[in-house]
Structure 1
């Protein structure tokens, strides 16, 4: 008699997170179109057949990867800029965003520079996530320098 294999209760969640983290890094380093589901799953150490047990589609994965990476970027910026105001805040923001570490590691940085050209061609949830983050970024920078200057700076 075969015994059923038992997995920890959080196994599916941990596997989903591993796929999400891997995809987020690959999308930022290679681009969305250049990154297939097979490559994501292989890089995560999984078989491609298991993908749909975790995500509805590649586009669903992109939307969730954007949410995750935007959340991480925002948290990182907030911690570094918390005590700064006005021009000091802007200088700090620019120094973080244009730093050598951020430039040289797109797979761990803000997804905007890496994915903005592709997002314009994608309809659906990932575009909405991107637009929502962009509005939030404009608002955040706008609190320091005014909305019009924020839009100009981000553009």
Structure 2
């Protein structure tokens, strides 16, 4: 008896979720299709029943990861007043928790440099997700797209640098200085 459409969608979602987690932790090039399938509890042979190629999976994993980041950040702001929501997002995004827990962290600082050398399919999907993240932040600052681009770029760059240095004090200083700067930038009219 063939699998139901719902079963196939659930399996696909499981693969995409595992891929998003793996890409967050290791990057795209360091993760193979067999590793992704094994992590999802499946065999490598079933991959092509769900995806045309790895690029399609990367594109979908980027969508999934940004969706999860936005949901996580929205969850952190649920009980906050409107004026405090962006402050809360900045505090969480530039926290040691977000820096250290790559498996749940934003995919933007992890994959941006790798995506810039990827296929057009991946870059197109990533561009849509970056734009969605800009819009999420813009929604907290009165639809100011230019300011949201600057704030997001600052946060992503700060998180990338904080993860890259091997000096814990410097890493913490990067996060703290960037938090202050992002909050100042958000407050500017």
TM-score norm. by structure 1 comes to 0.84
More helix by percentage: 2
Q: Aligned residues, how many?
A: 149
Aligned equivalent of 2:82 = 85
Q: Counterparts in 2 of 1:23-38, with a 5 A limit? A: 23-38=19-34
- Quick check: 2:138–2:148 contact (8 Å CA) kept in 1? yes
Report which structure shows greater RCO (CA 8 Å, sep ≥6): 1
Most deviating of 29-38 and 131-140: 131-140
Is 1:141 matched up with 2:137?
yes
Q: Give the match's secondary structure for 2:42.
A: coil
1:22: Cα distance to partner? 1.0
Match of 2:97 among 72, 97, 101: 101
In structure 2, do the counterparts of structure 1 residues 19 and 137 end up closer, same or farther at CA, with 3 Å as the change threshold? closer
Distance 1:49 1:116, change over 3 A: same
Q: CA deviation at 1:36?
A: 0.8
Alignment gaps of 5+ in structure 1: 1-5
- The equivalent of 2:157 in structure 1 is none
TM value normalised by structure 2: 0.70
Report the Cα offset of residue 27 of structure 1: 0.8
